[in-house]
Homo-oligomer: A and B are copies of this chain.
Amino acid sequence: MEYITIKDIAKKLNVSISTVSRAFNDKYDIKKETRELVLKTANEMGYRPNPIAKKLIQKRSYNIGIVVPEFVNSFFPEVIIGAQEILHQKGYQVLVMQSNDSWEIELKNVETLVDNMVDGLIVSLSSEDHNNKYYNSLIKRGIPIVFFNRVVDEFEASKVLFDDFKWALFATEHLIIQGYKNITHIAGSKNLTLTKNRIKGFKAAHRKYKQELGSIIYAGFTMEDGERVALEMIEKEKVPRAIFAANDATAIGAMKIFKEHGFLIPDDVAFVGFSESRLAKNVSPPISSVEQPTYDIGQSTAKLLLDQIENKGLHIPQTLILNGRLNIRESSINLKKV
């Protein structure tokens, strides 16, 4: 692979490389004609500026790195698309890396991105076990970074969040109002703030209605996690009247197992999920779910990052909390209610 460089163009036109360079960088200290001539012949020669060299000297890339724990569920892809839209408008390219929910890979991903001098980072954590010192050092080094969805409170960086407490409360409240007692919460990964907040909301709803608190089971975010938990409930004969799940995927997995074992939804076990995946509307019965504004989350994250990049010193970290809504469907409606 041979690359054409400004040197080649300079040679061909009998000018200096600085003249060629100037032609590309829109400075005014160059004659219009020479500029156009350079641009024209560069184009003819198939010249492409080498961003690597540019990065080396300028220490910036017009690339933005996005790191997410996974992208099999539609939540993260939708966020990414939202962010991408804003960033493309401003001339940034978006590089995506996924960590498979592994902190080790996440670290490598972020380091790769930073080493490659992305102008900024958008990150959703794989877990909150080991990250703190590392991310704090990144922030201290002045690397623009915005966290979303899965965050750690202490980070002095901008964050885009969803009000997990509030919406977990609403979701649980909905189940309580439907008349269900004995509600179980299938929670996500133990070490995430969002998991803690959803649990808090779950508890708060019970307090509000002076209802006895049901059990809380830590599972994860996959369909298989839901299936596993449901099987355990059936085996231990501890099947609750209603389930508030951390996730549509876990809800659907659990629901599937219950159906296979002859339970009726919602007549025997009612369900509310979280995240409004594309599955929610289409499973049987359609499942109630808390809808997060994925696209907005992406856009807001990108905007905060751009602000931080463009106003380096002046930027003050902000935390944005976006609103959602509860889509109520068949899986949670109590028809036998008096």
Contacts and interface: CB of A to CB of B under 8 A. Distances in A.
A143 interface: yes
Contacts of A281: 256
How many residues of A sit at the interface, in one of the four size bands?
A: 35 or more
Interface string A86-122: 0010000111111010000100110110011100000
Contacts of A78: 72
Given A49-B115, A51-B112, A52-B117, 18 more contacts: A48-B115, A51-B115, A51-B116, A71-B80, A72-B77, A72-B78, A77-B98, A81-B98, A84-B100, A93-B109, A93-B112, A96-B98, A116-B116, A252-B282, A278-B279, A282-B283, A284-B284, A284-B285
Given A94-B97, A112-B63, A1 B141 contact: yes
A48 B115 CA distance: 8
Interface stretch (A17-25, A53-61, A315-323): A53-61
A98 B55 CA distance: 23
Nearest to A142: B1
Interface of A: 1, 48-53, 55-56, 59, 63, 70-72, 74, 77-78, 80-81, 84, 88, 93-98, 100, 105, 108-109, 111-112, 115-117, 141-143, 223, 249, 252, 256, 278-279, 281-285
Contacts of A278: 72, 223, 249, 279
A105 B72 CA distance: 22
27 contacts: A1-B59, A1-B142, A1-B143, A48-B115, A49-B115, A51-B115, A52-B55, A52-B56, A63-B112, A63-B116, A70-B77, A71-B71, A72-B81, A72-B278, A77-B77, A77-B98, A81-B98, A81-B100, A84-B98, A93-B112, A95-B95, A95-B96, A95-B97, A223-B278, A249-B278, A282-B283, A284-B285
Nearest to A137: B46
Copies in the complex: 2
Nearest to A65: B95
Interface of A, secondary structure class, is mixed
Contacts of A70: 77
Contacts of A142: 1
Contacts of A93: 97, 108-109, 112
A96 B97 CA distance: 6
A97 B95 CA distance: 6
Contacts of A1: 59, 141-143
Contacts of A116: 51-52, 63, 116
Contact of A71 (B48, B49, B77, B108): B77
Contacts of A141: 1
Nearest to A50: B115
A264 to B, nearest CB: 14
Contacts of A77: 70-72, 77, 98
Which 8 pairs show the lowest CB-CB distances between chains A and B? A284-B284, A96-B96, A93-B112, A282-B283, A71-B77, A51-B115, A72-B77, A95-B95
